[in-house]
Amino acid sequence: MIQFPPADPRSVPNHHPALDTLTEYAAGQLRAGFDLVVATHLRGCARCRSEVAALETLGGSLLNTIAPAPLNANALAATLARLDEPAPPPPARNLDQLLAGARRRWIVPGIWVAPIDTPHDPDDRVFLLRVGPGASTAHHRHSGAEMTQVLSGALSDGGIIYQAGDMVELAGDDAHHPKVAGDQPCICLFATQGRLKPTTLAGRIAFALAGV
Ligand SMILES: [Zn+2]
């Protein structure tokens, strides 16, 4: 089981998901990996939790304004039939449960990756990454968007320092080279749409070893 240092209750995140992202989260429309990253951010961010609560209330109000439409003749029978089906698994929004099954793969001393076993598109990637002080991830591009939640330590990306509790969103065409900031190891939860594309040979070898 991977252990994290206890979160500092006085720390307040400075970097949050975009409003569009929170709206899609509230509507249950995010990709599974992104949904997990946002849910993890919400655990430590009262501001985003209250925004999601407001969006959910707004969504419920909008539903009440939709004019009733006639049901299909077999709608009741179809609904009753579904009651006999096994219940679908709950959304994978609890990182603690997922961590219980996560297995670390050491890439080089100081760096490990732990793929997260949550249902997601086979081309997407959801994983924890631990990088020691002074180290950096390989320079890479993306196939699609990327979301990162800093769980402990601090990350420097594009000249900005992201502390534990902060979330980073990148569009698909961004190339970047995140580095650890400060003298503590940094552990982040990553979700990417599609595979990452390392831009160096060393990066390709490291990503192949990590399975990302
Ligand atoms: Zn937030």
How many angstroms does the Cα of residue 77 sit away from the middle of ligand 1?
43
CA of 49 from ligand 1 middle (Å) equals: 7
138 vs 150, residue with greater confidence? 150
From ligand 1's centre to the CA of 21, what distance in Å?
11
CA of 161 to the centre of ligand 1 (A): 16
Secondary structure class of 37 (helix, strand, coil) = helix
pLDDT greater than 60 at residue 5: no
Residues bordering ligand 1, an ion, CB closer than 5 Å: 13, 16, 45, 48
| Cα 15 to ligand 1 centre (Å) | 7
Confidence of residue 176 (pLDDT cuts 50, 70, 90): confident
147 C-alpha vs ligand 1 centroid, how far in Å?
Answer: 13
Q: How far, in Å, from the CA of 166 to the mean position of ligand 1?
A: 7
Is the Cβ–Cβ distance between 198 and 40 less than 8 Å? no
With 70 as the cut, is the pLDDT of residue 193 above it? Answer: yes
Of 150-154, 172-176, 206-210, where does mean pLDDT reach its minimum? Answer: 206-210
Question: What rounded mean pLDDT belongs to the chain?
Answer: 80
Query: What pLDDT is attached to residue 34?
Result: 93
The domains found in the chain, sorted by start residue, are: 12-212 (2.60.120.10)
The whole-angstrom separation of Cα 101 and Cα 61 is 39
Best CA proximity match to 30, nearest among 150, 118, 161, 102: 118
Cα–Cα distance for residue pair 193/142, rounded to 1 Å: 8
- Does residue 90 have a pLDDT over 60? no
Give every strand in the sheet of 186-192, ordered side by side: 105-108, 111-115, 125-131, 186-192, 146-152, 167-170
Burial class (CB in 10 A: 0-12, 13-18, 19+), 120: buried
pLDDT value at position 119?
77
pLDDT over 80 at 126, yes or no: yes
